[in-house]
Amino acid sequence: MHIRAIAGYSLALAGSLDQARSQVAAIRKTHPRYSVDDFLRAFRFDPHGAAVFRKGAKLVGMA
């Protein structure tokens, strides 16, 4: 699920929202409560990196 989150957030940031939403839908099927907070707990980003991924998550409704 974390790999799909990376894909979804990155695709959203790149402007490919349809593809990003597809990744989010796949996550939601198996982990309906998964959020960007779960993602950030799994990966230790500096504040800037975390902010970038939070922005991507917000674009696809996972923030």
Domain boundaries, the chain: 2-59
Would you mind telling me the total number of residues written for the chain in this entry? 63
Stated pTM of the model: 0.92
CA distance 34 to 15: 22
CB crowding 27-38: b at 16 or more within 10 Å, else e: beeeeeebebee
CB atoms within 10 A of CB 42: 10
Query: What are the pLDDT digits (tens) for 8-54?
Result: 999 999 999 999 999 999 999 999 999 999 999 999 999 999 999 99
Please tell me the predicted confidence (pLDDT) of residue 9.
Answer: 98
